[in-house]
A and B are shown apart, each in its own frame.
Chain A
Amino acid sequence: MAPFTFLEDIALSDAAFEATGATPSELFQSAAQAVIETLADPRSVAPTWRRVVERQDQDLADLLFEWLSDIVYLKDAEGVVFRTAETVVSQETATGPWRLQGLLMGEPIDPKRHELRADVKAVTKHLYEVRREDRHGKEQWLARVVLDI
């Protein structure tokens, strides 16, 4: 299954996607990549700028929401677009908080070189969902996200 698919029918004016991963780490990476590709074609962006993002939250869905919101924030605050994201998401105990260690790579926006796409305003809670499924005995994590454009 592709790590993310853009969904057309649920947000006419905006951008929606479903991201997947075999683990929470993969899910967070897939979802980040979907946001990155909404902003600009990552093939046009060099990985010269790096930022480590560390967060924790009791709720995995809230943690993903904040992680994706961080990408939108950094786009404006640092004036960057992104090439890739790497993520490690872990939980030390079954009832403990989820911890995220994320690495974003990209470079300062240069409209002459970067294939810019849409300026994402926000990650929304509209139809927002994070769930785990068992598919043929294998764990699968899915997230549905709508971005306001």
Chain B
Amino acid sequence: MKLNTAMTVNRITDEIWEIPVSEKPGMLVPARIYATEHILTGMDSGVFEQVTNVACLPGIRRYALCMPDGHWGYGFPIGGVAEFDPREGIISPGGVGYDINCGMRLIRTDLTLADVQPKLEALMTELFRTVPAGVGSKGFVRLNRQDFDDMLRKGARWCIERGYGWHEDLQRIEERGCIPGADPAKVSAHAVERGINQLGTLGSGNHYLEVQVVADDRIFARETAAKLGITGRDQIVVMVHCGSRGFGHQVASDSLKIFEKAMKRYGISVKDQQLACAPFRSPEGQDYFSAMNCAANSAFANRQVITHRIREAFARVFARSAEELGMHIVYDVAHNIAKVERYEEGDLVVHRKGSTRAFGPGRPELPELYRETGQPVICGGSMETGSYLLVGTDRAMHETFGSTMHGSGRTMSRAQAKRSVRGDQLQRQMASRGIIVKAVSMSGLAEEAGFAYKNISEVVETVDLAGITKKVAELRPIGNIKG
């Protein structure tokens, strides 16, 4: 087996690989990568280097983990998971990412492909008009500073209070859409100025809004799917992928500067400047945690306002209310976040960067609705190939701190993708395959071509075989909005 690393990588099972602490000076715990042999051999050298760098961070417990969609990132690899003792461990913005609480939301409908197909062009046009996307786009919600601060404290609950959603929505969002401890006094004026006009916007890059179809033969666990509101028979669902926009990006940038200086004070040295960190209990660590929670709440609110606009757009196009169309949220999950969660060892500061929480059945954090099935997990693939709905397992609680994959992961640079296809060509090719794409940026569209990404099905099979999440349904795109 030829890997992109000279380190020793031991096979634990067919889907778990371990790099022992002897492979790098300073490693406090082993690094574990979840991958098939085929996925592992395709992983870039950055994954091995970065996951072992993470294993050196103070206070880390058990393992530094990387999921099968892992690839090089800033500081932590994308797909990285690490958990730290809150008393002696650190918190690191590099373990969260610049787009704090970038995440996925899935909304079900009672509509079928037969209902939607004749109106698909009109639907995509309406969604493109209604949900702003692209560089610097502004949302329709006008907020003053007091409103903005309230939104940062309350997250999705702030939206529900203002009529942007249904009361039942909150129980279908990780942390009920509001992480406690968000303190707007801990965010900079720059962060507020970047974010105050962006509530309810998608952004660009790999963010999207997608209309998808669930074919009957692509449901893998029918009983679980039904409990999640997924009935198959060419059912239409809507997926949203976006995060905390300019506000969250600025919170991350601000904190890295503060942490670079703080590390000297606390005598912490790291193997990569982007792993800048501070003790979790330190003033700097707590200030970042408060600011990061503000950004996390703003991302929950962002996806909530977008959900409101999606429901409005569907209601206009199909001349029926969103309630009549059965547009319930299935779930909303963060895949760039640090949180305090309780495990066998007690409370731990869990960092997930390009990784999704995947709590198994029975966890008290889950709403009654999903206590029996396990937490819904939403994994987005490329806009050409499709996405997956999965559920968390008890095994994930013991092995991966209730964490799993988040998407498919890039394999080709943006420039190479643009050289391979033009945006307008790709748009026509996808239209001929029945996928209508509306994009603000044609070059941005080309960068997101399906061939620039890993095969998501192989990644999903890996976490399913490893037992850290179980697949429920595959979701095939028929319409996509991109920034």
Binding site for B on A (CB under 8 A): 6, 8-9, 11-15, 39-40, 69, 72-73, 75-77, 79-81, 109, 111, 115-119, 121-126, 128, 146, 148-149
Contact = CB atoms under 8 A, between A and B. Distances in A.
Given A111-B134, A118-B444, A12 B203 contact: no
A76 B256 contact: no
16 contacts: A11-B413, A12-B71, A12-B412, A13-B410, A73-B190, A76-B194, A76-B195, A109-B135, A109-B136, A111-B440, A115-B441, A116-B134, A116-B444, A121-B246, A122-B250, A126-B272
A81 B135 CA distance: 8
Interface in B67-82: 71-72, 74, 78
Interface string B73-109: 0100010000000000000000000110000000000
Which of B71, B195, B198, B441 counts the most A-chain CB atoms under 10 A from its CB?
B441
A112 B135 CA distance: 12
A76 B198 contact: yes
Given A6-B415, A111-B440, A73 B197 contact: no
Nearest to B44: A12
Nearest to B442: A115
Interface string B176-203: 0000000000000010011101100001
Nearest to A40: B135
Contacts of A39: 135
B249 interface: yes
A25 to B, nearest CB: 25
Contact of A118 (B195, B205, B252): B205
B422 interface: no
Contacts of A126: 74, 272-274
A146 B413 CA distance: 13
Which of A14, A40, A117 counts the most B-chain CB atoms under 10 A from its CB?
A117
Given A125-B256, A149-B414, A79 B71 contact: no
Given A118-B135, A122-B98, A77 B193 contact: yes
Interface in B459-475: none
B393 interface: no
Nearest to A77: B193
Contact of B413 (A9, A119, A121, A124): A9
Contact of B204 (A73, A119, A122, A148): A119
Contacts, number: 111
Contact of A116 (B193, B414, B440): B440
Nearest to A69: B253
B441 A117 contact: yes
Contacts of B457: none
Given A117-B135, A122-B250, A126-B274, 20 more contacts: A8-B416, A12-B44, A12-B71, A12-B72, A13-B410, A39-B135, A79-B138, A116-B135, A116-B441, A117-B443, A118-B135, A118-B444, A119-B135, A121-B205, A121-B246, A125-B273, A126-B273, A148-B98, A149-B204, A149-B414
B149 interface: no
Contact of B194 (A8, A73, A117): A73
A72 to B, nearest CB: 8
Contacts of B99: 121
Interface residues of B, number: 45
B447 interface: yes
A118 B415 CA distance: 12
Nearest to B411: A12
Nearest to B75: A126
A115 B443 CA distance: 9
B410 A12 contact: yes
B135 A148 contact: no
Contacts of A116: 134-135, 204, 440-441, 444
Contacts of A13: 71, 78, 206, 410, 414
Contacts of B273: 125-126, 128
Contacts of B412: 12
A6 B419 CA distance: 13
Contacts of B413: 8-9, 11-12
A8 B443 CA distance: 16
Contacts of A73: 190, 193-194, 250
B483 interface: yes
A15 B415 CA distance: 9
A122 B205 contact: no
Contacts of B272: 126
Contacts of B414: 12-15, 118, 149
A39 B205 CA distance: 11
B481 to A, nearest CB: 13
Contacts of B137: 109, 111
Contacts of A15: 414
Nearest to B202: A119
A75 B194 CA distance: 8
A147 B195 CA distance: 19
Contacts of B443: 115, 117-118
Contacts of B440: 111, 116
Contacts of A9: 413
Contacts of B246: 76-77, 121
Contacts of A117: 135, 441, 443-444
Contacts of A77: 190, 193-194, 246
B166 to A, nearest CB: 30
A116 B134 CA distance: 7
Interface in B234-261: 245-246, 249-250, 252-253, 256
